[in-house]
Amino acid sequence: MTGELQPFPFSDVLLRAIAEVRSIAAEVAPTLAAEPREDLTGVLKAATALERDLGDGEAADRHELRNRLGALRGYAEMLLEQVEGDAHAELGDCLLRLVQATHSAGDLTLDSQPGRGSVTITSEPGFILAVDDRRENRELVARYLSRCGHFVVTAADGEQALATLEESDVDVVLLDLVMPGMDGREVLARIKAHPEWHATPVIVISGHQDMQGIIDCIEAGADDYLFKPFNPVLLQARIKAGIERKRWHDREDQYRQQLERSEQFIRATFGRYLSDEIVTDLLERPEGLDLGGDLREVTILMSDIRGFTTLCEQLEPTQVVTMLNRYLGAMTDIILAWNGTIDEFIGDAILAVFGAPQGRNDDADRAVQCALAMQAAVDAVNTANAAEGLPALRTAVALNTGTVIAGNIGSERRSKYGFVGHPMNVTSRIEDATGPGEVLAADSTVAALAGRATVAESRELQARGIDEALRVHLVTGYLP
Amino acid sequence: MSGRGPILLVEDNELNRDMLRRRLTRAGFTVLTAGDGREALQRMEAEQPALVLMDMNLPVLDGWNACREARANPTTRAIPIIALTAHAMAADRQNALGAGCDDYATKPIDFPALLEKIEAFCPA
């Protein structure tokens, strides 16, 4: 015999049942007839002997324990026969629990080998809902599972069970199949049909060896089953498996929600600058968010409001912001509609790119149509401005096509999808030369359009910082 | 109602003996008791019970040897014996039957099942 020997694993439940009987014995004894009173004395004597042996640890061998258990059960059963159906309902219930506890204890002493420690299964504590129409069964299960560290709530019928599921996050449901009113099958069907409960493991309990009933239930979604009277160790093992199943599901659920949240975050953050299609592409290829870049042939669009600095001096700051937001809002919608990538707003200026992160064959075409649409939309913005007593705006849009470096530029902490390269500077110069209401496109952009753009006139620009002369074209229309 | 039996109950544990005696009495049997194997053999010879319920773990003379002696004695040979053991091993059943017991019940006793066995040997 070594260490902390527990020859009697079920002792707690049994000892509690004994304590219960003992607590009411003094009160009940005088009301009993002579025979049952002697039986009660027998119960208490056998209980005391059993407790003494249990307390003795090593001294008590299995044979003695079974003798004690036999005497205790015998007296309790005799007494139960005597008090059943009469006024001693409380005593009756206590005795029934005691008898059940001796049965379970007897099964355990039967199964375990002498000298071997108790069979205990360690499990993460869970929230268990035990559904049974018989009070003694509910209490037996509740006590046993509470002793194993679980939090147990009970329900006496189907309606109560569903109400409990409504209120709490149940980990495992222990469900008796045979109940009056809404039976176990119906409760199971409702759990499995419920959007939030369907993943909650259900262990069905059948009173008899009702194999067909069990098969039906497993087909209807039950996760496990037990026959009554069940072995407490088996119950514990199944509860443990059920809790683990539930935890896996919960974690999966959490990951999914986390993923959805970060996707929403990415959409909300990038969605302001990128069209939905590009965001979806980035989400599907997260490696696209790595720092670094690649060379891309893109069409760059730059626009600004002519005379904006002067306007700002004449208006209240709140009026400036109102006007700017209305203008940028309208322009953003148009750029995204043409699948452009908005790189940034600098005050009233907009920098957008067509062809990155995703390149297409019609990047220049979309850029030109976008620029024309932007100019056309300024009228509507001005109408809204006029209604509030705000001045009309005139905007200039410049286009240029060339090869730039596109990528996430910055540091790990703060990076931004952006563009660098000579064509960016050239676009800026063209923009400087663009008049109010005009769309001015570089030679490269018009060449990419292969005649689909209507060009009103062409100009030579001698831009500062750029050696060669720049040929630009005033675009007034687009013919697909 | 009394007079069925008598049944000789051989059990050294006082509490168990008292409990089983009461239950059997209530079930309508006349019950004799003995506390060890030697006493059991003496009462079997003297009182010729209809049936013996014998615990196997007995002082003085254990149940196995008491059974063998009872079978070797012509005056007790025909008395049925049901062995009561605290062991549920298959070997125990073999031992009990090999020692001359007629049937076998495991402790803690399932009383209704025990009654059925008893009825088989001494019908009302």
Q: Are residues A352 and A443 in the same domain?
A: yes
Last residue of a domain, one of A111, A146, A179: A111
Q: What is the reported pLDDT for A48?
A: 85
Q: Are residues A353 and A393 in the same domain?
A: yes
Q: Are residues A235 and A290 in the same domain?
A: no
A79–chain B nearest CA distance, Å: 10
Host domain of residue A179 = 127-250
Q: Are residues A318 and A432 in the same domain?
A: yes
Per-residue pLDDT band at A403 (split at 50, 70, 90)? very high
Residue A269 lies in a domain: no
Which residues in chain B are contacts of A74 at CB distance < 8 A? 16, 19-20, 23, 108-109, 111
Per-residue pLDDT band at A292 (split at 50, 70, 90)? low
Domain B4-121 classification at class level? alpha beta
Determine, for residues B20 and A42 on separate chains, whether the beta-carbon distance falls below 8 Å: no
Residue A307 lies in a domain: yes
Residue A456: Cβ within 10 Å count:
11
Last residue of a domain, one of A64, A81, A111: A111
Domain ranges of chain B: 4-121
Which residues in chain A are contacts of B57 at CB distance < 8 A? 63
Residue A119 lies in a domain: no
What is the tally of structural domains in chain A? Answer: 3
Which residues in chain A are contacts of B15 at CB distance < 8 A? 42, 45-46, 49, 67-68, 71
**Where is average pLDDT lowest: A111-125, A216-230, A334-348, B59-73?**
A111-125
pLDDT digits (tens, 9 = 90+) for A147-157: 777 888 889 99
* HEC secondary structure over A226-269: EECCCCHHHHHHHHHHHHHHHHHHHHHHHHHHHHHHHHHHHHHH
Contact B65, B100 (CB under 8 A): no
Mean pLDDT rounded to a whole number for chain A: 82
Q: What is the reported pLDDT for A291?
A: 54
Q: Burial, A457: exposed, middle or buried (Cβ in 10 Å; 0-12, 13-18, 19+)? A: exposed
Residue A202: what residue type? V
Contact A399, A445 (CB under 8 A): yes
Q: Are residues A101 and A167 in the same domain?
A: no
**How much of chain A, in percent, has pLDDT values that exceed 70?**
84
Determine, for residues A74 and B13 on separate chains, whether the beta-carbon distance falls below 8 Å: no
Q: Are residues A244 and A176 in the same domain?
A: yes
Q: What is the ipTM of this complex?
A: 0.82
**Where is average pLDDT lowest: A184-188, A220-224, A233-237, A303-307?**
A233-237
Could you tell me the two tokens for A421?
Answer: 């390269």
Q: Are residues A238 and A209 in the same domain?
A: yes
Q: Are residues A382 and A433 in the same domain?
A: yes
Cα separation, B83 vs B99, in Å, equals 10
CATH number for the domain spanning A462: value is 3.30.70.1230
